[in-house]
């Protein structure tokens, strides 16, 4: 009955249209009332949820990504990717995917990736003879890399949802190979489609121009080196690397590229703060919701349910994948990580699944949810940038869903994809 009251009230509040964050907070209060827990305890749980030093990584990474996105970095990364792969048949689709790889390693955000890369490449691809819906599908699916490749904001949220027991540095490293595998899988599929549909070849860029483009992009690409290099060398933590990344992004944008006006900076900071306020409210209310779930022993009950169905690790992981894929289409990624991690992590840990590995499984699953209707935030951004109906973009996405499912199966059943790099570099 306890679980019915807490989860039922949350679902009812969601159905009537209440924002997820407020639905979490209010259902936590309803749950506290039901079990006769003082409301002070709920307030303490909310405050404790956001009073964590590691959470500072989120605002810093978001701000660094916003500065680089609006400061001309996306245009330079597209040009750099074109130097590397733009000359082959269907080359612009490969440029799109590779630019997403680079930009994801700076912004850590799929939405920022889709908006920035899409605004540059979707019109360009259409002009060169690619269907607009195909260009949008490439952009949207390629942006899922940003969830996996460091510095992923969602990896920080997963670490928080796991009670801080999972290293952010380990999660960052764990996302590198799955992210690159995703990009490679999409690229191979695009090459196949390009040959089948006879898409145009790109131009070969002269050496002198290529060198200028590479040097121009190098300043922004150094952000990746600063973040990962600093963490791996032990010079600073993941949180401190985020702060350094902001300083570097500001320096490159305002003093090297100089495409951004100083007068626009306050507006950028204001937009970033608004975004972060929503995220922090969500994290605080999700912490109180998780606290009430723990008191009601809901995670223990769900663990018992899964293990009663099967004690085979691979079967349980398949069931969890199906569950997360369905939930990912109905709710945004961050609240799902905060809600489902405390429930599912104990299940997989009892079966010997490493928490870092499971984090990557969650990222790929919920990343697919971001590009799937009816609540695919990245899908909506891509359709808005391309000025296309959602239905047309979804139809073009069907082959890309297949590629993403292949990557999901590989990440789920080949733990070394997630664990090899952390094991090698964080000994």
CA nearest neighbour of 256 among 114, 67, 113, 112: 67
CB atoms under 10 Å from CB of 14, counted, come to: 17
Beta-bridge partner residues of 201: 89
Contacts of 1 (CB under 8 A, 6+ apart): none
Tell me the pTM: 0.86
Question: Hey, what are 391's tokens?
Answer: 């239905």
Structure tokens of 72?
A: 């001309």
159-182 residue pLDDT tens: 988 887 888 889 999 999 999 999
- Give the distance from CA 212 to its chain's centroid: 31
The DSSP annotation for 138-171 comes to HHHHHTTHHHHSSS-HHHHHHHHHTTT-S-HHHH
**pLDDT per position as a tens digit, 273-297:** 887 888 888 888 888 888 888 888 8
Q: What is the Cα–Cα distance from 108 to 325, expressed in whole angstroms? A: 21
Q: Burial code of 41-53, b = ≥16 C-beta within 10 A, e = fewer?
A: ebeebbeebbebe
Q: Each residue of 199-257: pLDDT tens digit? A: 877 777 888 888 888 888 888 888 878 877 777 777 787 778 888 888 888 888 888 88
- Could you tell me if 158 and 341 are in contact, meaning their C-beta atoms sit under 8 angstroms apart? yes
Q: Measure the N-to-C terminal CA separation of the chain; round to a whole number of Å.
A: 46
Tokens 């079967």 sit on residue = 315
Model pLDDT, residue 427: 66
Whats the size of the chain, residue-wise? Answer: 427
Query: pLDDT digit of tens for each residue in the chain (427 aa)?
Result: 777 788 888 888 888 888 878 888 898 898 888 888 888 888 888 888 788 777 788 888 888 878 877 777 777 888 888 888 877 887 888 888 988 888 888 777 888 888 888 888 888 888 888 899 999 999 999 999 989 988 888 888 899 888 878 888 899 999 999 999 999 999 999 989 988 888 877 777 888 888 888 888 888 888 878 877 777 777 787 778 888 888 888 888 888 888 778 888 888 888 888 878 888 888 888 888 888 888 888 777 777 777 788 788 889 899 999 989 888 887 788 888 988 898 899 889 888 899 999 999 999 999 898 888 877 788 888 888 888 888 889 898 999 999 999 999 999 999 999 999 998 887 6
Dihedral sign, Cα of residue 48, residue 53, residue 54, residue 58 = positive
Nearest CA among 296, 337, 401 for reference residue 35: 296
Torsion of CA 117, 120, 126, 131, to 10 degrees: 20
> Residue 188: its pLDDT value, please?
92
Q: How far is CA 174 from CA 49, 178, 240, 336, 405, in A?
A: 25, 8, 19, 20, 19
């Amino acid at each position: 009955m306890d679980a019915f009251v807490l989860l039922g009230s949350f679902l009812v509040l969601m159905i009537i249209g209440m924002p997820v964050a407020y639905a979490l907070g209010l259902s936590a209060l309803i749950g506290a009332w039901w079990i006769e827990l003082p409301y002070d305890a709920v307030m303490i749980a909310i405050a404790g949820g956001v009073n964590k030093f590691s959470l500072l990584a989120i605002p810093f990474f978001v701000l660094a990504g916003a500065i680089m996105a609006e400061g001309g970095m996306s245009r330079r990364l597209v040009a750099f990717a074109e130097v590397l792969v733009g000359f082959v048949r269907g080359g612009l689709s490969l440029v799109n995917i590779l630019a997403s790889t680079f930009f994801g390693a700076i912004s850590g955000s799929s939405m920022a990736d889709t908006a920035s890369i899409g605004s540059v490449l979707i019109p360009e691809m259409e002009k060169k003879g690619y269907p607009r819906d195909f260009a949008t599908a490439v952009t949207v699916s390629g942006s899922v890399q940003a969830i996996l490749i460091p510095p992923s904001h969602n990896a920080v949220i997963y670490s928080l949802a796991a009670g801080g027991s999972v290293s952010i540095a380990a999660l960052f490293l764990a996302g590198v190979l799955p992210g690159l595998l995703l990009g490679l899988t999409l690229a191979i599929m695009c090459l196949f489609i390009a040959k089948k549909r006879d898409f145009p070849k790109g131009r070969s860029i002269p050496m002198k121009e290529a060198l200028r483009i590479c040097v121009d992009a190098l300043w922004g690409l150094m952000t990746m080196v600063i973040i990962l290099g600093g963490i791996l060398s032990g010079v600073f933590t993941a949180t401190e690397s985020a702060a350094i990344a902001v300083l570097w992004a500001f320096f490159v944008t305002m003093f090297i590229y100089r495409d951004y006006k100083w007068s626009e900076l306050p507006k950028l900071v204001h937009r970033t703060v608004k975004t972060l306020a929503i995220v922090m409210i969500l994290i605080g209310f999700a912490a109180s919701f998780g606290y009430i779930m723990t008191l009601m022993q809901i995670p223990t009950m769900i663990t018992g349910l899964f293990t009663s169905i099967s004690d085979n690790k691979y079967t349980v992981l398949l069931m969890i994948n199906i569950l997360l894929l369905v939930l990912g289409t109905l709710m945004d990624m961050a609240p799902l990580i905060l809600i489902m991690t405390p429930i599912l992590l104990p299940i997989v840990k009892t079966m010997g699944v490493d928490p870092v590995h499971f984090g990557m499984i969650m990222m790929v699953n919920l990343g697919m949810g971001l590009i799937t209707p009816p609540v695919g935030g990245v899908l909506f951004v891509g359709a808005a940038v391309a000025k296309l109906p959602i239905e047309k973009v979804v139809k073009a996405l069907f082959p890309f869903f297949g590629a993403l499912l292949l990557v999901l199966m590989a990440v789920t059943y080949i733990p070394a994809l997630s664990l090899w790099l952390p094991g090698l570099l964080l000994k």
